[in-house]
């Protein structure tokens, strides 16, 4: 049995969401002292009761026919020997009642998630998870911040349609994928000393790769799209970033797939010409980013990225949810 099969009972219980069944599955899966790190505004949740009571139950109340749909499930061990299971997909259902004061649409809606579960002795001892809450705001027409530079759409699963393959994936291939992504990340960190040329994007990325960013940034296609709609604005705003996927967190491979998780993964200060419509302040901040890559041969073909943008805004003194409530007053 693969390590990722450990998550099957929970994923099945959440596919046709039933609160009691989900609670029992979580009680079996999570160790008694497990910590759940969830996106802003939830933050750290102390085990099953808080996870269900503060996050999952309100989501299920807002979506009476709540359904979990996974697109990628993978597992692997880091170089340090930590064992992780990574899941990426989206929550969906009829958005019938408010969620975090986001007004319901009455239509089917979707919210992406990335979840990473650290496993010890057959139990999950830590969960790091991001929900793309801005995506839900956009579908409800109450996103109060700047428009995305990239494309906003319903992000697809792997082009190869093998993200849910239950069989054991090739471990030798996993090492190749891990080496490719790891080398790419090392080169990304060379921007400060060698500029764009030192990052050598053409060496690692397929010419037609897709970078599926979080809502608020959007999807970018190819190297030109990635540079224009994400990388250049990001690096211009925060050139002093440290850590990142090359220097912090947990990187693990599974066949063609590589996962990364950290809480947080990067440290930086907002300078340059600002970011996401926020004027530069020099203020220090951290960033949570949970990522999946799919490698094709010797190049990276797809990259799914979620960033806790609400947490970034909060550190800079902007309460996005409060601004959204002001914007939504016209609805009531």
- What is the CATH classification number for the domain harbouring 38? 3.10.450.50
What pTM does this model have?
0.95
Same domain, 135 and 20: yes
Same domain, 194 and 303: yes
Cis, bond preceding 55 (omega within 30 deg of 0): no
Same domain, 185 and 136: no
Same domain, 300 and 217: yes
pLDDT of residue 238: 84
Same domain, 212 and 126: no
Range of the domain at 316: 171-320
Average pLDDT, the chain: 93
Per-residue pLDDT of the chain (332 residues; tens, 9 = 90+): 799 999 999 999 999 999 999 999 999 999 999 999 999 999 999 889 999 999 999 999 999 999 999 999 999 999 999 999 999 999 999 999 999 999 999 999 999 999 999 999 999 999 999 999 999 999 999 999 999 999 999 999 999 999 999 999 999 999 999 999 999 998 887 666 566 777 889 999 999 999 999 999 999 999 999 999 998 888 888 887 776 544 568 999 999 999 999 998 788 888 887 888 888 888 889 999 999 999 999 999 999 999 999 999 999 999 999 999 998 887 76
Same domain, 224 and 270: yes
């Amino acid at each position: 049995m693969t390590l990722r099969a450990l998550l099957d009972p929970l994923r099945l219980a959440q596919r046709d969401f039933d609160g009691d069944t989900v609670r029992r599955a979580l009680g079996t899966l999570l160790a008694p002292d497990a910590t759940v790190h969830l996106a802003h505004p939830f933050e750290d949740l102390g085990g099953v009761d808080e996870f269900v009571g503060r996050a999952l139950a309100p989501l299920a109340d807002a979506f009476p026919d709540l359904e979990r749909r996974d697109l990628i499930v993978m597992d692997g061990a880091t170089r340090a020997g930590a064992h992780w299971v990574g899941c990426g997909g989206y929550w969906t259902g009829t958005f019938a009642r408010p969620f975090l004061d986001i007004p319901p649409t009455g239509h089917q809606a979707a919210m992406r998630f990335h979840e990473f579960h650290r496993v010890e002795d057959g139990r999950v001892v830590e969960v790091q998870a991001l929900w793309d809450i801005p995506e839900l705001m956009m579908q409800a027409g109450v996103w109060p911040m700047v428009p995305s530079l990239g494309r906003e759409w319903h992000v697809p699963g792997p082009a190869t349609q093998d993200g849910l393959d239950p069989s054991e994936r090739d471990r030798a291939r996993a090492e190749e994928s891990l080496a490719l992504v790891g080398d790419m990340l090392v080169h990304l960190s060379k921007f400060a000393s060698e500029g764009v040329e030192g990052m050598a994007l053409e060496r690692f990325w397929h010419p037609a790769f897709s970078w599926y960013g979080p809502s608020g940034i959007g999807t970018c296609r190819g190297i030109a799209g990635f540079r224009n709609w994400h990388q250049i604005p990001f690096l211009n705003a925060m050139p002093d970033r440290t850590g990142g996927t090359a220097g912090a967190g947990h990187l693990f491979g599974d066949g063609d797939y590589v996962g990364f998780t950290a809480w947080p993964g990067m440290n930086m200060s907002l300078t340059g010409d600002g970011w996401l419509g926020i004027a530069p302040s020099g203020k220090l901040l951290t960033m949570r980013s949970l990522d999946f890559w799919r490698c094709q041969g010797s190049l990276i073909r797809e990259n799914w990225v979620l960033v806790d943008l609400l947490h970034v805004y909060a550190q800079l003194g902007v309460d996005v949810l409060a601004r959204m409530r002001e914007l939504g007053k016209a609805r009531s």
